Amino acid sequence: MKFGIIKERKNPPDRRVVFSPDELAKLKQTYHEASVEVESSDIRIFSDAEYKNMGITITEDVSNCDVLFGVKEVPVESLIPNKSYFFFSHTIKKQPYNQKLLKAILEKNIDLYDHETIVDDQNRRLIGFGKYAGMVGVYNGIRAFGLKFELFKLPKAETLAGKEALIMHLKRITMPALKFVVTGTGKVGSGAKEILDAIKIKEITVDNYLTKKYTQAVYVQLDVLEYNKRIDGQVLDFDDFVNHPEAYTSDFEKFTKVSDIYFAGHFHASNAPMILTREMLNASDCKLKVVADISCDVNGPIACTLRSSTIAEPLYGYFPLEDKEVDFFHPAAVAVMAVDNLPCEIPKDSSEGFGEQFMEYVIPAFFNGDKDGILQRAKITEKGKLTPRFSYLQDYVDGK
């Protein structure tokens, strides 16, 4: 089995990689029958030399590899026919901008595995950068507050070495007695929590958060049933919400009345209710000053996320009265941070974490006959056709 790490070719450049040099060395030690080559790259967070020092072959041509690993979409013209590829294809929700990519993958007889489709038998995602999005999202949200109210100036996350540097800079500021609300308890939520705990922000209960005043910064982390309620008033379980999201409405308004910064790190199903509405943001008793939409669903559950922002220009203002974007410093604007590729800001940490997940959950499947069905479930295309699990994409491929 010959694995290849491909060079990232998408613009803007992405410095992340599926495997760090250490992780690839571990792979070779663990699976002696595996060989690995890394396509030379001048943008990757780890240099060619760092891989060479670990005894990994650097090459200009990975066409002799069986399985190719990348992070972002591979440009159509760079796809090598008759190979297996792993990358974020952004096709499983029928994204219009990648229809040509999926079509080309089928035409070139490529077996495509998407990082998003690597799930366990309960359909839970095993691989992702979400934790690192949560970390950077918290940093960026606090940075936005400091800039908006001219209280403190934090450097951009992308200029720092990684997670530990984010924590160090956050610890240096004089933190006002702010209230932070976090939605989501998955990977993104866990990353957000890790940073808040590291900088000694006190976690409190929902009841205390809603009713008490504090002289220090505090936060609350909400699960889905703590910010949604059934329209008919029944109190049921999480499964009911998953199966009948249309029977629910947002119960988030009570948090907008007491929160300064909102970190949105939830997973949002297509017919689940809005979380933060324009009406809530427009209310005279809304206290929210910064919304850091880490999940970043444009036209999704967060009314002020009018567009995704960029690492270069991460912040904009939202004017609830007119439901429009305004200058970040507009006095009536809510500050919005909606960068959709936050893990790119700490590429070293996020690459190392990603590779560890890959080694734990995916690589063994190549050598144990895929006994847990990891590869089978993740495969979108095979021998020029969509697999049964992804046959729903046929009309998308056909351009209908």
Domain 130-340 indexed as CATH 2.30.33.40: no
Domain range summary for the chain, segments of one domain joined by + = 2-126+347-398, 130-340
Give the pLDDT confidence of 204-254 residue by residue, as tens digits: 999 999 999 999 999 999 999 999 999 999 999 999 999 999 999 999 999
For domain 2-126+347-398, the CATH class is alpha beta
pLDDT at residue 267 tops 90: no
293: Cβ contacts below 8 Å, ≥ 6 apart: 264, 302, 304, 305, 336, 337, 338
CA distance 155 to 199: 17
pLDDT of amino acid 271: 87
pLDDT of amino acid 318: 98
User: In percent, how much of the chain has pLDDT > 90?
Assistant: 96
Q: Is 124 one of the annotated binding-site residues?
A: yes
pLDDT at residue 331 tops 90: yes
User: In percent, how much of the chain has pLDDT > 70?
Assistant: 100
Give the pLDDT confidence of 349-365 residue by residue, as tens digits: 999 999 999 999 999 99
pLDDT of amino acid 259: 98
Average pLDDT over residues 96-110: 97
pLDDT at residue 15 tops 90: yes
Whole-number average pLDDT of the chain: 97
Q: Is 230 one of the annotated binding-site residues?
A: no
Please tell me the pTM assigned to this model: 0.95
pLDDT at residue 269 tops 90: no
Q: Active-site positions?
A: 72, 90
Domains 2-126+347-398 and 130-340 share a fold: yes
